[in-house]
Amino acid sequence: MTLITTVHSYAGGVAKSATARDLSAALAQQGHRVLLIDADHQADLSVSLGVDVDEMFANADESFAQTIGPAVLGTGPLPDVHHVYGLDLMPSSITLYNLEKELKSDVSMVVGLRYALNEIRAAGTYDFVFIDTNPTLGDMATLALLAADRVLLPIPPNRKGLRAGSFIRSRVEKGHYHRLNPELQVLPPVITQAPNTTLARQYQAEIESLFGQILGVVRHRPGLYPTAMERATPVPVFDRGDGRAEIMAVADAFLQTVGAARVS
Ligand SMILES: Nc1ncnc2c1ncn2[C@@H]1O[C@H](COP(=O)(O)OP(=O)(O)OP(=O)(O)O)[C@@H](O)[C@H]1O
Ligand SMILES: [Mg+2]
């Protein structure tokens, strides 16, 4: 069975892309079959895995064809995947921004990704699919949330993180997406970019009490994350030390929560 998880927050810079990339790479390292979908026109996730579609194709139509855009619109297939670090990536491009305009002009397109991924579910090629979103509560987030079984919230232990995490959780639990996607559930969050301060620990305790459980804590590591990004390498591949260990622990907690066994 394929489990589709959207990594989401309306808050910018909270480590959505880093969490999607590193959790996917950790699961791929353990032998799980993982598809990673970049649904953010910023394409940070793709670029941080060494796939820069806008550099590869100067023509906007060609770039757009490398993304989920045509499949969402129903004008073409899902794109060919790029094999990177043991996982498959459907990349993004700045041209994916055009999809937002299309979603506004035809609201039915908002289920386009859900329909397109039905083929992937039916084929059973992947154990896990992760979708990275841009920081919005708008149509692109809805597109990604309607396609998913689970939503994973990266939450930094601060006021901004807590506000965003608790808002999205209550939005999903109040049934905001349930008429079109009755299966959607909120996973325990990942605490991200956590500094070693008393205030951060207080916020972490508040987040844990709100959600009842967390998947783990990823510490603020300014020496590791920008370098891994610069080298276009996921943290669990780039790092052999504590940075890798905390991502692997998040991956184990994720597997336990969704009821999947570790492959190796
Ligand atoms: N644990 C960490 N320690 C230090 N830096 C981190 C950590 N996690 C992420 N970062 C850095 O923080 C920045 C924001 O991370 P990321 O791009 O993953 O956030 P995002 O939520 O996807 O942002 P956006 O809202 O723009 O999509 C990046 O430069 C990333 O390398
Ligand atoms: Mg991002």
Stretch (H or E) spanning 88 = strand 87-90
Residue 112 resides in a domain: yes
- Domain assignment present for residue 59? The answer is yes
44 touches ligand 1 (CB under 6 Å): yes
Query: How many beta carbons lie within 10 A of that of residue 141, not counting itself?
Result: 22
State which ligand 1 atom lies nearest to the alpha carbon of 243.
1
Query: 46: pLDDT confidence band, cut at 50, 70 and 90?
Result: very high
Q: Is 135 touching ligand 1 by the criterion CB < 6 Å? A: yes
Q: Is the pLDDT of residue 83 over 60?
A: yes
The CA–CA distances, whole Å, from 100 to 17, 58, 168, 177, 195 equal 19, 21, 20, 18, 35
Q: Whose CA is nearest to atom 13 of ligand 1?
A: 13
From residue 205, alpha-carbon distances to 5, 184, 188, 214, 262 in Å are 25, 25, 13, 10, 28
Is 49 inside any structural domain?
yes
Q: What is the per-residue pLDDT across 223-238, written as a single tens digit (0 to 9) for each?
A: 999 999 999 999 999 9
Say yes or no to pLDDT of 190 above 70: yes
**Mean pLDDT, residues 198-223 taken together:** 97
State residue 260's pLDDT score.
80
Binned at pLDDT 50, 70 and 90, residue 107 comes out as confident
Please choose from 193, 238, 250 the residue to mutate so as to test ligand 1's pocket, defined by most ligand atoms within 8 A of CB.
Answer: 193
150 within ligand 1 shell (Cβ under 6 A): no
Provide the CATH number for the domain around residue 107.
3.40.50.300
Rounded to the nearest angstrom, the distance between the alpha carbon of 108 and the centre of ligand 2 is 25
Task: Quickly state the pLDDT bin for 249 (edges 50, 70, 90).
Answer: very high
User: Of 16, 23, 96, 244, which is best to mutate to test ligand 1, by the most ligand atoms within 8 angstroms of its C-beta?
Assistant: 16
Q: In the 3-class helix/strand/coil scheme, how is 31-42 assigned residue by residue?
A: CCCEEEEECCCC
In this prediction, residue 262 carries a pLDDT of 65
Interatomic CA distance for residues 256 and 258, integer angstroms: 6
- pLDDT score at 104: 87
Alpha carbon of 16 to ligand 2 centroid (Å): 5
**b/e for 65-89, b at 16 or more Cβ within 10 A?**
bbbbbbbbbeeeebbebbebbbbbb
> Does residue 17 have its Cβ closer than 6 Å to ligand 1?
yes
Global model pTM greater than 0.95: yes
Query: Sorting pLDDT into bands at 50, 70 and 90, what band is 253?
Result: very high
18 domain-assigned = yes
Residue 168 lies in a domain: yes
Q: Is the CB of 246 under 6 A from ligand 1?
A: no
Range of the domain at 183: 3-258
> Residue 82 pLDDT > 60, yes or no?
yes
Examine residue 264 and state whether it is found in any structural domain, yes or no: no
Which atom, in ligand 1's list, is nearest to the CA of 221? 3
Query: Please, where are the H alpha helices in the chain?
Result: 16-29, 44-47, 53-56, 60-65, 69-73, 97-105, 112-123, 139-146, 159-173, 198-211, 225-230, 235-238, 242-258
Number of domains in the chain: 1
Judge whether residue 134 has pLDDT over 60: yes
Q: Is the pLDDT of residue 124 over 60?
A: yes
Closest ligand 1 atom, residue 220 Cα: 3
Q: Give me the pLDDT at residue 58, please.
A: 87
Residue 150 lies in a domain: yes
The answer as to whether 263 is a domain residue is no
